[in-house]
Amino acid sequence: LLLIPEHRYIEVPLQELGRFLYSERMAMALVVLVLVVPPLSLVVNVYISPEPVVKLSKKAVARLKVASFRRQTLLGSLPGFVVFFFVVGLLHAANFQTNPMYDPVPVPVYASGSEIVLPIEGRLGKLTDKKLHKFVYYEGKKEIVFLVILRPDGTFGVALDQCEICQPAEWNKAAEGYAQRGDHIVCKYCMTPIPPSTVNNPGGCNPIPVPFQTKEDAVIIKVSDLVRVFDAAEKLQKKGTHL
C-alpha cells in the first residue's frame, strides 16, 4: 500500500506514513545515525571506564596515577571527537549540496496608478510555479523588496523580504531576507524553515505580511499598503526590536 502512487479521488491507507518514510528527511536521519553512532559509542566507552583503584601509601603517587589515567582517557576519546565533528561537517556540506538555497534576484516593478499589478503568468515569471519570487519597488529613496509565493491551498502569500525578529548587522547584510530550500522558505539569518502555508501570517520568523488582492489572473498590491508596511518595519528596526 505504501508504494501505490497518489490518486486524485482514492485515499490510500497509510499514504502519509509512506511519504514520510520515503522522504529525503528520513534518509538523511538514517545516514546521520549510521555515521554518528560509532564515534559517539567510542567516546562513551572511553569515558565510562572506571578509574583505577590505586592502593599506595603515598597520596602524591596515587594522584599521579589517577591523573595519568584521566589524561589517557582524554587522549583516547580525541579520535572519536575528531571523527564526530568531521562527520557532522560532511553531512552539513552534503545537505547544502543536495538541497541548495534558491534566492532569486528581485525584479524591479512599477506602479500603475496607485497599484502594483503582478500578472500571475507573464514577463515577470510564472507565480504558480511554487518557487519564491522577489520584486523590488522604489518609492523615492526607499528600496522595498517583497516576495510572492504560491501556498499549498492555491492562494498566494505576499510579504516583505524582512523578518520582525532577525536583523543582521551591517557587515552581514547578505543574511537579510529569505530564500527557498526545497518546499520551505528559509530565514537566511537564523536558517529557520518556514512552510509557505504560513506566509501572510504575522509573528515568529515569518516574513512581514503585505495586504494584497487577487483579481483577473493578477496579484494586486496597493502602493500605500506596501509603503505603510515597509515604514512600520523600518521603525521597528530603529526602536531596536530586531536582533
Residue 43: the pLDDT is 65
Instruction: Yes or no: say if 167 and 234 are a contact pair by the CB < 8 Å rule.
Output: no
Apex CA 152: angle with CA 115 and CA 189, to 5°?
75
In the structure, what pLDDT confidence band is assigned to residue 221 with cuts at 50, 70 and 90?
very high
Mean pLDDT of the chain: 78
pLDDT digits (tens, 9 = 90+) for 84-134: 677 767 666 665 565 678 899 999 999 988 999 999 988 878 899 989 999
Residue 18: the pLDDT is 61
Q: How far apart are CA 114 and CA 224, in angstroms?
A: 7
CB hemisphere CA count around 92 (13 angstroms):
7
Look up residue 165 and give its DSSP letter: S
Fold designation for 107-238: Rieske Iron-sulfur Protein (2.102.10)
Is the pTM value of this prediction over 0.85?
A: no
Give the domain ranges of the chain: 15-98, 107-238
Pairs from 209-216 (Cβ < 8 Å, separation ≥ 24): 209/157, 209/158, 209/159, 210/146, 210/158, 210/159, 210/160, 211/158, 212/156, 212/158, 214/155, 214/156
For residue 154, the one-letter residue type is G
Q: Which three cell numbers stand for residue 212?
A: 494584497
